[in-house]
Structure 1
Amino acid sequence: MEMKAMGPHLAIPVIEPTQVGEARRAAARLTLEMGFDELSAGRAALVVTELGTNLARHAKDGMLLLGCTANDAGGTLEILSLDHGPGITDLRQSLADGHSTGGSPGTGLGAVRRLANDFHIFSLPGNGTAIVARIHAKPATAGAFTHGQGQGQTFSVGGICIPAPGETVCGDSWAVRMNGSKARVMVADGLGHGPQAAEASQAATQVFATANGAPHAVLERAHALMRSTRGAAVAIAELDATANSLLFAGAGNIAGRLLSGVDDRTLMSQHGTLGVQVRKLADASYPWPDHAMVVLHSDGITSRWNIDGARGILQQDPTLIAGWLLRSGLRGRDDATVVVIKRAREQGA
């Protein structure tokens, strides 16, 4: 079973032009660390500059997120642009190469789409925009895993994890294991935030990486091995694309939702903290409708989010969906993680 544990994204608020330079320098540092060649690093810098310039000029409460994914292609820089701005009335026109409303360096979103190896956008007039652009260090090989969909994969998965304001490490973590028609996703939220919270959530990730059995059995094993940490809220969802079923087990305040265009079901965790105290754990079974996606998130995201008026987001790239939900529900005072998983064929263009 293939296991991928995802590191946190670097979050950079962009509300005025000097912050664009900060984001560009951060991207240069990350691409250097991942071994990007000069051409690919230059493309990444242009994409970050273009998206940041758009935020500074046109958006409200804009934010750039930069994340690194290691894969067989040598690594990918994932760039998200999130805002609460006026939205884009005519996406087709805005994506035309050379179209720019502010004379930006890359001449518009069309340039971003052309420069990126992978590009997704969702916007609602009057309600803001979310954009995902990915730049590969070198051409992706078949089946290379990214925060989206690799060739031949059954599942499409994406997530965002950002530390609490003022922290340099994230007390949340998430990971996914995939094997043919089955996948498991875990989200862990260490108590509090900072290094000790990160230690607790990473301990849960290490157990998840190797432990087999039902989700509740994995949590029980993690509980026993996490007693030396401060503890964490942890939840695991196991999806079976052949049986159209979902098993879910959780302890603490990791929220789970099973969401389609017609249904919105809460996945129930029990009270407790792994490594500290939990009652007897058990799996809950749910049908997994063909077009439904699963969302797991920590309490850094409000549980009262909804997609009313934005149901077109359901057909989008899972990281784009995660970004839209984070943009809408971020509390702004704790670590925050959102993970989205669905069948690969449901990914939007």
Structure 2
Amino acid sequence: MQQSGRPHVAFEVHESTQVGAVRRAAVQLAESLGFDEVAAGRVALVATELGTNLVRHAQRGRLLLGTVAGDEGEPSVELLSLDHGPGLGNVSNCLTDGYSTGGTPGTGLGAVRRLSNEFDLYSAVPAGTVIMARVAAGGRPAGGGAPTALPPPCAFTIGAVTLAAPGETVCGDAWAAVQDGPRAAVLVADGLGHGPQAAEAAQAAVALFETTPFGSPSAVLERAHQALRSTRGAAVAQALLDADQGHLLFAGAGNIAGRLISGVGDRSLVSQHGTVGLQIRRLQDTRYEWPAHALLVLHSDGIATRWDLSLAPGLLQHHPCVVAAWLLRDHLRGRDDATVVVLKRRGAA
């Protein structure tokens, strides 16, 4: 199973007129992915409900719109709702039809969950809420989270959020992941600067990685160093994980941050100085133990490095995409491309 990231598009949602813009963009994206009228209609309803919820109840609301491949390769539209408060005091109640704190029918979040093939929500009072809703082109909605097919044999669940720098139409960051049974390989690249030339460098690193994803991370980066010599260069990091062996191998050059997070530990992964394609020292793989319930977080320098997920109790139990969106919500620098990739064992609590 192979995954790679297209940048999300961000919409500020503070007033009702902005909800329509998000809905139209979401439907246009769905149609570009081959969604039929019924599936595109579900996307429109989810976008409308999430946007309306932000306008009525949230502070500093934002919707991110992107695409993701499902477990069986089918395209899905991904909608991420981010706000900065006041948070949901009782999430179960808020997902129950008829429940409302604002004098409305109270069907918004319950409808979103029913219409989505994948849905997750994390909220803290008064910090705010992140909601993930994914609508697939085919198949039936999950109807509240029930699986529509047996889970695939891949051992890991991956979530990511990518945003281009303000004013840019292309993103200078790129990421990719490949899974094969108990193994997973993931790479994040940040092209020097931003704009089309940065994107060229980052995509070249991804293309090289996808040819031999399960090789030694340091060897992959050495080959990328040669492949990127005709570009402006990139910061690149790769991790190779094995769920059966309980460890990961890591190598990086430049300012891609990596951390292993669990309920009892927080360990940084060490990258060396340098820029792949321009100048690096000889790279080596570093081995780290992989605790059963740990998350791997990789992010570019568009995200500030001083973050602490212990300040969001229970967040680690949620979908990696929700974790990535929470990190981006609170630690986005706002002046460069930004990418957060989060990976954990499938089914880990």
Q: Secondary structure at the match of 2:347?
A: helix
Determine whether 1:178 maps to 2:212. Answer: no
Q: Secondary structure at the match of 1:311?
A: coil
Which whole-Å CA distance do the structure 1 matches of 2:290 and 2:73 have between them?
A: 32
What's 2:34 paired with? 35
- Structure 1 residue 259: Cα displacement: 0.4
Which whole-Å CA distance do the structure 2 matches of 1:254 and 1:105 have between them?
A: 45
Change (3 A) 1:70 1:259: closer
Which whole-Å CA distance do the structure 1 matches of 2:225 and 2:6 have between them?
A: 22
Which whole-Å CA distance do the structure 2 matches of 1:210 and 1:185 have between them?
A: 13
Determine whether 1:345 maps to 2:344. Answer: no
TM-score normalised by structure 2 residue count: 0.93
Which whole-Å CA distance do the structure 2 matches of 1:233 and 1:150 have between them?
A: 34
Unpaired runs of 5+ residues, structure 2, are 141-149
What's 1:310 paired with? 312
2:281 is matched by which residue type in structure 1? R
**Equivalent residue runs for 1:43-58 within 5 Å:** 43-58=42-57
- Structure 1 residue 180: Cα displacement: 1.2
Q: Is this contact kept in 1: 2:292–2:348, CA < 8 A?
A: no
Q: Is this contact kept in 2: 1:165–1:334, CA < 8 A?
A: yes
Q: Is this contact kept in 2: 1:99–1:109, CA < 8 A?
A: no
Q: After superposition, what is the alpha-carbon deviation per residue over 1:72-117, rounded to whole angstroms, capped at 9, x for unaligned?
A: 4641111100111100001111110233444669832111111111
Which whole-Å CA distance do the structure 2 matches of 1:45 and 1:67 have between them?
A: 14
**Equivalent residue runs for 1:159-178 within 5 Å:** 159-178=160-179
Which whole-Å CA distance do the structure 2 matches of 1:182 and 1:307 have between them?
A: 26
- How well do the aligned residues superpose, as a CA RMSD in angstroms? 1.8
- Structure 1 residue 150: Cα displacement: 5.0
- Structure 1 residue 153: Cα displacement: 2.0
What's 2:79 paired with? 79
Q: Is this contact kept in 1: 2:8–2:162, CA < 8 A?
A: yes
1:236 is matched by which residue type in structure 2? Q
What's 1:117 paired with? 117
2:298 to 296, 299, 303: 296
1:38 is matched by which residue type in structure 2? E
What's 2:197 paired with? 196
Q: Is this contact kept in 1: 2:34–2:137, CA < 8 A?
A: yes
- Structure 1 residue 70: Cα displacement: 4.1
Q: After superposition, what is the alpha-carbon deviation per residue over 1:150-191, rounded to whole angstroms, capped at 9, x for unaligned?
A: 533211111111101111111000000111111111000001
Which whole-Å CA distance do the structure 1 matches of 2:73 and 2:171 have between them?
A: 26
Change (3 A) 1:26 1:138: same
1:231 is matched by which residue type in structure 2? G
Determine whether 1:96 maps to 2:96. Answer: yes
What's 2:143 paired with? none
What's 2:144 paired with? none
Q: After superposition, what is the alpha-carbon deviation per residue over 1:94-149, rounded to whole angstroms, capped at 9, x for unaligned?
A: 11023344466983211111111111000001000000011111118xxxxxxxx9
Q: Secondary structure at the match of 2:206?
A: helix
Which whole-Å CA distance do the structure 1 matches of 2:54 and 2:195 have between them?
A: 29
Q: How many residues are treated as equivalent by the alignment?
A: 339
1:202 is matched by which residue type in structure 2? Q
Which whole-Å CA distance do the structure 1 matches of 2:312 and 2:62 have between them?
A: 20
Q: Is this contact kept in 2: 1:63–1:83, CA < 8 A?
A: yes
What's 1:259 paired with? 261
Q: Is this contact kept in 2: 1:204–1:226, CA < 8 A?
A: yes
- Structure 1 residue 17: Cα displacement: 2.0
Q: After superposition, what is the alpha-carbon deviation per residue over 1:192-229, rounded to whole angstroms, capped at 9, x for unaligned?
A: 11111100000000000013520000000000110110
2:114 is matched by which residue type in structure 1? R
What's 2:146 paired with? none
Unpaired runs of 5+ residues, structure 1, are 141-148
1:336 is matched by which residue type in structure 2? A
Q: Is this contact kept in 1: 2:260–2:294, CA < 8 A?
A: yes
Which whole-Å CA distance do the structure 1 matches of 2:110 and 2:192 have between them?
A: 43
Q: Is this contact kept in 2: 1:20–1:53, CA < 8 A?
A: yes
Higher mean alpha-carbon deviation, 93-102 vs 118-127, is at 93-102
1:316 is matched by which residue type in structure 2? H
Q: Secondary structure at the match of 1:221?
A: helix
Which whole-Å CA distance do the structure 2 matches of 1:15 and 1:233 have between them?
A: 36
**Equivalent residue runs for 1:187-266 within 5 Å:** 187-211=188-212, 213-266=215-268
Q: Secondary structure at the match of 2:314?
A: helix
TM-score normalised by structure 1 residue count: 0.93
Change (3 A) 1:27 1:150: farther
1:274 to 273, 276, 293: 276
Which whole-Å CA distance do the structure 2 matches of 1:341 and 1:308 have between them?
A: 17
1:223 is matched by which residue type in structure 2? H
Give percent identity, aligned residues only: 59
Which whole-Å CA distance do the structure 1 matches of 2:98 and 2:185 have between them?
A: 42
